[in-house]
Amino acid sequence: MPRCKYCNQLNKVADCFQDPEHPSYSFCTKEHWELYKKEKKVTKKASTPTKPKSELRKLTDYIQAIWPVEPNWQWFNKQIKNLCTETGLTQNDIRLTLKYCIEVKELQVDGQYGLQQFIPKYCQEAQQFINDIKRVKDSLTTIDFEDELVSTPVGRVNVHRRLKEDMEFNSN
C-alpha cells in the first residue's frame, strides 16, 4: 500500500491520487498533493541563497551606500512609492538616475533632503545618458575594431608635456 507523501497515511492503490509530474508519488487526495507542492516550493525558496535581489532591494541597497546619514526607511519607502505612482518611473529607473547623479555628475547628496533633490529633476538627463551608452555598446558589437586598434607604447607618452598642461590648467 502506498503512503501519502504529504501526511504519511497508507492508502489503497485505487484511492490514491497520483502526482502527474512524478507518477511514483502517491497522495491520499488531490488536496494533499497540492499542499505537498506548496510546502516544497516554500522550503526550496528559503534554502536558495543566490536568489536575485529585487529591484526595490537593489535601490534601497544603493541608497544605503550613498546617503551621508542613516536613511529614514519609512520615509524613503514612501518616497519611492510616491515617485513610482506620480512619475511612472520604476524602482530601477530611480536607482539608475541616482547612479547617474552620483557617479557621472558627481553631485553631493544632501542628507537633509530626500530623493526629490535628484528625482524627477535628473531623470531625463540620466535616461539620455543611458540611451547614449546603449547606442555606443550596440555599435561596438557591429563594428569590428580588431584591426583598427592603435596602441601607444607606454614609454612614448610625453610626461613633461602633460604636467605642463596640467599646471597651466590649474593656474587658470
Q: Any long-range contacts for 40-49 (C-beta under 8 Å, 24+ apart)?
A: none
Of 31-39, 44-52, 119-127, 162-170: span binding Zn ion (CB under 5 A): 31-39
Which three cell numbers mark 11? 492508502
1 binding Zn ion? (CB under 5 A): no
Q: Which is nearer to Zn ion, 26 or 91 (CB)?
A: 26
Smallest separation (angstroms) from Zn ion to the CB of 5:
8
95 binding Zn ion? (CB under 5 A): no
- φ, ψ of residue 47 to 5 degrees: the values are -95, 10
Site for Zn ion in 32-91 (CB under 5 A): 32
Helix 91-99 vs helix 123-142: crossing angle, to nearest 10? 90
10 binding Zn ion? (CB under 5 A): no
Of 22-30, 75-83, 95-103, 122-130: span binding Zn ion (CB under 5 A): 22-30
4 binding Zn ion? (CB under 5 A): yes
16 binding Zn ion? (CB under 5 A): no
> Which residue is closest to Zn ion by CB?
4
Radius of gyration of the chain (CA): 29
Q: What is the DSSP string of 95-108?
A: HHHHHIIIIIS-PP
Q: Which is nearer to Zn ion, 32 or 95 (CB)?
A: 32
* Whole-number Å distance between alpha carbons of 25 and 35: 13
* Whole-number Å distance between alpha carbons of 97 and 108: 14
Under the rule (CB under 5 A), what is the footprint of Zn ion? 4, 6-7, 9, 28, 32
